[in-house]
Amino acid sequence: MEQAKIKIQIESEIGELEGVIIHTPGSELENMTPENAERALYSDILNLSVASKEYQQLKGVLEKVTNVFELKSLLADVFEMPNVKNLMVNRISESCKAADVKNILSEQNAQNLAELLIEGVPMQENSLTNYLEKNYYQLEPLHNFFFTRDASTAINDSVLINRMANPIRKREAIIMEAIFDYHPQFIAKTINPKNSRQYNDNITTEGGDILVAGKDILLIGSGIRTSSQGIDYIASKLESREFPRHIIVQELPRTPESFIHLDMVFTLLDRDKCMVYEPLILKTSRFATLHLVVENGKITSIKEVPNIPFILNELGMPVEPILCGGKNLQNQEREQWHSGANFFAIAPGKIIGYERNVHTIEELNKKGFSVLRAKDIISGTEKIENHEKVVITIHGSELARGGGGARCMTMPVRRKIL
């Protein structure tokens, strides 16, 4: 049965989930080698068979509670439209400087084209130059695409097409823009800095850094992935009509890599609860927290504030911090490294995270969250609705090594308004 159209609507991080886009990792992970892992933004290569089993727990839970859309299927649907297919082949060939694969892509049917654009186009050994080329691919696999959060961000009724910090992820944003512009499933308007008169090469934004705290409040991390120029661009689009008017900016360390995005140190869990990595979010440090007031696309005020929970309280959104890793600094560091602060809410007080972060899960349990295993939710042994607050735990021995958690692997398109 055909699903009803979904109008983009994200006014919080925790409203009951009504639609989410995911990408089940495939052979693009197996197409990673020790030689290209660093270029692909990984410190190690992942085992696909193990990662896939763990991912199925996340997908299985989501399918129990909401409309789940597989990215590759959405992309194949879009390519069934000949004009869109031709447009995309041209755009990707040009932007990725891969003109020599244009003919290969043009010859594919919709499903094969979707697969190639994600899994990569192998190097054709039809010339001496190609034969001697040390790269295995003419069009690189998108190793990071199962982190669907980053390439686009739904804010209220619009979708920001993010300009990714690393060129290797540029194609992800092009694909997400095509899905939101052309797929009949979604009613969306896209905002792309590349199409703006304000565009400059210093603008970078990624979804892991952008949290929609409320209709009028955005939280944005400023670090190696989202630049100050990117935040200025977002502010310029926050008109008074339906867009947030407060931006809380958290400066992030450039190292280690576990601080890559804001959602690796701060996520919202409930109407009055948040998960924090205490050393950065609550302790005094050289990384500032700034409160920007935006009126009709203009920043009218910037001031430094003590921390994110403090300013949220000032704005009428009081939240109690729960400590990633508990109170022990060593546990905090270990569990933050494995995405212990990165939770995804399917409803207020109902969240998904990695079971390996035992001290973090224990802290949640102390605050009234029942702890349920994903496999018990999927089998029907446990019912989410029987619990007021719940943390659903998924296996993460392999997925966590990719550098992201449940929030990173989900791109919500619609939530109920709180």
**DSSP notation for 356-384:** T-HHHHHHHHHTT-EEEEHHHHHHTSS-G
- Do residues 361 and 355 touch, judged by C-beta distance below 8 A? yes
* pLDDT given for residue 288 in this prediction: 97
φ, ψ for residue 178 (rounded to 5)? -65, -40
pLDDT(239) > 90: no
pLDDT(37) > 60: no
Helix 82-95 × helix 110-119 angle, to 10°: 20
Residue 255 CB partners (closer than 8 Å, separation 6+) = none
The dihedral through the CA atoms of 261, 414, 82, 75 has a sign that is: positive
pLDDT(392) > 90: yes
pLDDT(190) > 50: yes
What's the mean pLDDT when you consider all of the chain?
A: 92
User: What is the percent of the chain where pLDDT is above 70?
Assistant: 92
* pLDDT given for residue 1 in this prediction: 36
Q: Which residue has the higher pLDDT, 108 or 196?
A: 108
Tell me the pLDDT band of 125, cut-offs 50, 70 and 90. low
Q: Domains plus CATH for the chain?
A: 6-415 (3.75.10.10)
Instruction: Lowest mean pLDDT of 83-87, 167-171, 259-263, 330-334, name the range.
Output: 167-171
Dist. CA 322–CA 366, nearest whole Å:
10
Which H or E run includes 228? helix 228-236
Q: Bridge-partner residues for 10, per DSSP?
A: 156
Mapped onto helix, strand or coil, the DSSP state of residue 98 is: coil
What are the tens digits of pLDDT across the range 259-318?
999 999 999 999 999 999 999 999 989 999 999 999 888 999 999 999 999 999 999 999
**DSSP notation for 251-303:** E--S-SGGGSSGGGTEEEEETTEEEE-HHHHTS--SS-EEEEEEETTEEEEEE
What are the tens digits of pLDDT across the range 109-118?
999 999 999 9
* pLDDT given for residue 257 in this prediction: 79
What are the tens digits of pLDDT across the range 350-382?
999 999 999 999 999 999 999 999 999 999 999
